[in-house]
Amino acid sequence: MIKLNLRLDFQNPIGTATKMLYGGLVEHLGRCVYGGVYDPADPQADEEGFRKDVMATMRELKIAVARYPGGCFTDLWCWEDGVGPHRKARLDPAWKQLEPNTFGLHEFVHWCRKCEIEPMVTLNLSLRDALDAARLVEYCNFPGGTELSEQRKANGDSNPFGIKYFCLGNELYAPWEFGQCPPETYAVRARECAKVIKAISPDAKCLLCGCGYDNDWNRKVLEICYDHVDALSLHFGFGSNDPDEAFYHTLYVHEKTLRECADIIEAIRQSRKSERRVGIAIDEWIIWNGDDKAKGSLPYTVGMHLLEEDYSIREVLLCGAFLSRFLHGHCDCVDLACVAQLVNVIAPVRTAPGGVLWRQGNFYPMAYAARYGCGKSLRLSDLPQDLQASAILAENGELAVFVTNLHKEPCNMNLELGGGVAKGLLEAVTLHCEDEKAFNTPERSPLCPQKLTEAALTAKGDSVMATLPAHSWSCIRLNTQLAL
């Protein structure tokens, strides 16, 4: 039995975890859009062809921001093909699919509105340039009186979309991208793009393409772009085919890169004596086997089954550990995060035709974090190896403690609040599964949180004692007198 004595420091929080940490990617890949988000033929489709069950699940997951349309898909994306009455079918060589463009910018923005999600658009800086990006921003955000803004109105949206977040390209450092280029080449293009975006849409936030495994790239692009961007985007992947040890160990590898990157940002800020804060946006965190063969193959078709991975308990635990350690643990520098992806493609939500939808196990740590994980992220006493935890104190005084026990033994947790602050237990749930290979299907949900039984939980005054199962993710919520 592992012992965990959790002491919380209410005085000196790490930072504030905001709802923007709980976003997701909607890429034109496989059945994320066609057959997931959008499926006019499905009985669940609304008048615009959006699946109502998917929208309800996005609201349940409290997704705050959605990144669109990619991902690698962006490399050949021409946004003009997906607006207006005449949509243009194109090849998508990035994922070897046929792209009908029946879902485009208008549909994405409407879908976001219905789901109460902030839209974020990735600009094609791979095979297009700053001028094309400027045209897109004008089309979306300019009120009227220009050809493009009038065209948007004619296409059904008299009000501007008001898109605030723009990603300046996707993974341009990577050999798998069309448009890969050296950092200096990319950075000059990105800087000019950010300048023109802000000239058209002054409130826009620009996310510079950083690299999750190469801080040299990050230093070089930041030195050129620092004065014009709002965040550096980093993508962090976890190999779902890796053996357990390597799979979980990746967290520490990425964490080292993240902290070094935060130091680089600070050093550049100081060297320029700049007042400007550049944050970090983890706008893709990915649990994927990374298999290139997962791509479609000839003949190119629409809505293929690509990257539809079934997640077992270890992906649930990785997800819980990531949310605690990365997002809550580094919210001093991480401003925004998106799971890649939201529906069907390496995703917490899956669908099948005929209104069938199910939640994968990793849905639950994400849903609890989004619902109860906004507020001050408190520092915790030293955690034993293989335990990841975080504690978030919300404005209304509710405290949520998230614990991921990666150990193959149960954990005896003693949570001491001290100082007579506890007002009562609100909820205590845990998710574990003895069958390491089990995953959720439309028929069965072995990966679903359960209430901690009375035998496993004692809450008295300012202390909570709980026995958390081996290989489990848990959330304990308390009321406190600490309204901020």
430 binds ligand AHR (CB under 6 A): no
Query: 388: which residues sit within 8 A by CB, 6+ positions away?
Result: 251, 320, 321, 324, 325, 403, 404, 406
Cis peptide before 69 (omega within 30 of 0): yes
**Residue 474 binds ligand AHR (CB under 6 A):** no
Compute the least distance from the CB of residue 32 to ligand AHR, in Å: 9
Among 126, 170, 362, 430, the residue binding ligand AHR under the rule CB under 6 A is: 170
Q: What are the structure tokens assigned to 42, written together?
A: 């499905």
352, β-bridge pairs? 356
CB of residue 74 to ligand AHR, shortest distance in Å: 8
CB of 436 to ligand AHR, least distance (A): 25
Q: Which is nearer to ligand AHR, 344 or 390 (CB)?
A: 344
Site for ligand AHR, residues 324 to 383, rule: CB under 6 A: 340-341
Q: Helix, strand or coil for residue 254?
A: helix
Measured CA to CA, the distance from residue 470 to residue 472 in angstroms comes to: 6
The residue (of 340 and 380) whose beta carbon lies closer to ligand AHR is: 340
290/446 with CB nearer ligand AHR: 290
Task: Answer yes or no: 284 catalytic.
Answer: yes
Q: Give the closest residue to 204 by CA, choosing from 150, 284, 133.
A: 133
Helices 52-60 + 105-115 axis angle, to 10? 50
Within 32-91, the residues that bind ligand AHR by CB under 6 A are 70-72
Measured from the CB atom, the residue of 130 and 340 that comes closer to ligand AHR is 340
User: CA distances (Å), 381 to each of 278, 432, 480, 484, in order?
Assistant: 29, 24, 19, 22
Single-letter amino acid, residue 465: M
Question: Is residue 171 near ligand AHR by the rule CB under 6 A?
Answer: yes
For residues 276 to 305, the per-residue mask of contacts with ligand AHR, x marking binding by CB under 6 A and - elsewhere, is --------x-x-------------------
Asked if 250 touches ligand AHR (CB under 6 A), the answer is no
- For residue 367, what are its two tokens? 């849903």
User: Is 171 an active-site residue?
Assistant: yes
CB nearer to ligand AHR: give 71 or 449: 71
Q: Among residues 27, 99, 138, 171, which one is catalytic? A: 171
Q: Is 179 left (phi over 0), alpha (psi -120 to 50) or beta?
A: left
Instruction: From the candidates 107, 177, 284, 309, give the one annotated as an active-site residue.
Output: 284
Q: How far is CA 108 from the centre of its chain?
A: 17
User: Residue 356: enclosing H or E segment and its boundaries?
Assistant: strand 356-359
Q: Is 27 in the site for ligand AHR (CB under 6 A)?
A: yes
Question: What residue type is assigned to position 247 of the chain?
Answer: F
How big is the site for ligand AHR, counted in residues (CB under 6 A)?
Answer: 11
Instruction: Return the number of the residue (170 or 377) whose C-beta is nearest ligand AHR.
Output: 170
Q: How far is the CB of 25 from ligand AHR (least distance, A)?
A: 6
Measure the CA–CA gap between 404 and 431, rounded to whole angstroms. Answer: 10
Q: For residues 440 and 448, what is the distance between their CA atoms, to the nearest angstrom?
A: 9
Q: Which residues are catalytic?
A: 171, 284
The footprint of ligand AHR (CB under 6 A) covers: 27, 70-72, 170-171, 235, 284, 286, 340-341
